[in-house]
Homo-oligomer: A and B are copies of this chain.
Amino acid sequence: MVSFLRIFSLRNLLVLSLALNVSLIWRVLYGKDSEAINGPSLDNKRKALRTDSMASEAQATQTTHLYMPSSSSSSSSVDSNSRDRVINLDHGDPTVYERYWKQTGDKSTILIPGWQSMSYFSDAGNLCWFLEPEFAKEIIRLHKIVGNAVTEDRYIVVGTGSTQLYQAVLYALSPPDAAEPLSVVSAAPYYSSYPLITDCLKSGLYKWAGDALSFNKEGPYIELVTSPNNPDGHARQSVVNKSGGILVHDLAYYWPQYSPIAAAADHDIMLFTVSKSTGHAGMRIGWALVKDEEVAKKMVKYVELNTIGVSKDSQLRAAKVLQVATDGCKYPTSKEGSLFDFAASIMEERWNLLRAAVRQSGLFTLPDFPPELCRFLNSSFAPRPAFAWLKCEAPIEDCEAFLRSNNILTRGGKHFGVGPQYVRISMLDRDENYDVFVERLSTIHRRQSMQVDETAE
């Protein structure tokens, strides 16, 4: 048994080592270009501190750590001795994309004069009067080239991130004078923010009703279908088998870097966001494709009441980066290449590293995904989700606590409606953090897990 474990461990070490080499070569090729074009990185100018004070983290302790400059990103920054360094992968902060956008140089830069975009109004002829026409145009262009969603005969509603649009949908779908709040459900594990956002104001219009799989209340309801799912990455369909339900499709992760694009999604209400498609979380821009005019109108009314429209500056900037993303698909031989090729390569590499580390450690398991044909990338591959849904195997009972004791911050299963043996881990952080993470994960020994569990008891 001991010798078997030793052989198994050596083989895994080899896989891990090879994967790191591929990663290193790849980054040297890309990283150099980026540095030459853009000079010192953003991170050299700013102290990119982070906390874990964001949504869904009720008990947030203000653990901060200093990022290393991303320009120094290479496996040489992987220092397994610095176990004190806290790696925060709780949030899906998509900083991995910075490298691609540096490569695009001036193409993706925008300039806004002080006198521009002063009015509340963007496009008065449009049902969504605060939607910048240029942004609307680029949304359609991008969906058309990627083929991930039908845009014909749809209203586009822009939001301050898809988070605001989620609330706009709830407002739009809830009857104003119903006797009781409309039930909102999603199959567990579900996105941890859904229950918090739904119930934060104790609305009389709608109410979080938990796991869609066990939902059996009579009457109308909203079912949220997140596909690929946050946190576990699986493709999803509606699970409630009842009449009176309205489906809302959150397709934030239905992009070719994460998932094979099997067909253009064609649902009544579909939500997207730049945070996960191009990586621009700081813009706070999302969009909804909505079939029904009255639903779209009510969503617009919500955004109007909530924030009187959506930042024009960010919409203009979003239009620019979507334009560059689409152009990159059309001309993949350009200097910077295609955003989706770039991100797909990184995600594949990271998932390979993670699976190797998980095998190496022997303490965890990950979901398996069957390969499927992607019509956009014209190849078959298994999904490589934006989050890893990691399970700690027995005897570890609380996976989040266990990883925290190793200075790895993740989000525990209970936030997603399941047990504490699961955690969600962001796969979108900068290289230097991701590399430390997989390296550390691969070297956590079973002995450590026993110690933690003994202490906890």
Interfacial residues, chain A to chain B (CB-CB below 8 A): 38, 42, 48-51, 53-55, 64, 91, 93-95, 97-99, 101-102, 104-125, 129, 160-161, 163-164, 167, 171, 193, 196-197, 200-205, 275, 279-285, 302, 304-314, 317, 320-321, 324
Q: How far is the CB of A316 from chain B (nearest CB, A)?
A: 8
Nearest 9 pairs between A and B by C-beta? A108-B114, A202-B204, A101-B115, A282-B312, A49-B124, A311-B311, A117-B282, A101-B114, A160-B307
A118 and B97 form a contact (CB under 8 A):
yes
A95 and B111 form a contact (CB under 8 A):
no
Q: How far is the CB of A445 from chain B (nearest CB, A)?
A: 32
Interface centre among A161, A313, A320 (most CB of B within 10 A): A313
The docked-state distance in angstroms from the alpha carbon of A118 to that of B98 is: 7
The docked-state distance in angstroms from the alpha carbon of A112 to that of B38 is: 13
A305 and B197 form a contact (CB under 8 A):
yes
Residue in contact with A119 in the complex, picked from B48, B99, B110, B124, CB distance below 8 Å: B48
Number of copies: 2
> In the assembled complex, which residues on chain B have CB atoms less than 8 Å from the CB atom of A320?
114
A308 and B54 form a contact (CB under 8 A):
yes
Q: How far is the CB of A356 from chain B (nearest CB, A)?
A: 28
A110 and B111 form a contact (CB under 8 A):
yes
The docked-state distance in angstroms from the alpha carbon of A55 to that of B309 is: 10
A305 and B193 form a contact (CB under 8 A):
yes
Q: How far is the CB of A104 from chain B (nearest CB, A)?
A: 5
> In the assembled complex, which residues on chain B have CB atoms less than 8 Å from the CB atom of A125?
49, 51, 64
B109 and A313 form a contact (CB under 8 A):
no
B114 and A109 form a contact (CB under 8 A):
yes
> In the assembled complex, which residues on chain B have CB atoms less than 8 Å from the CB atom of A203?
201-204
B101 and A119 form a contact (CB under 8 A):
no
B51 and A200 form a contact (CB under 8 A):
no
- Using known A-B contacts A49-B123, A205-B202, A310-B284, determine if residue A129 contacts B54 with beta carbons closer than 8 Å: yes
8 A–B contact pairs at CB < 8 A?
A49-B121, A53-B304, A93-B120, A108-B115, A109-B113, A163-B307, A164-B307, A197-B305
The docked-state distance in angstroms from the alpha carbon of A284 to that of B308 is: 8
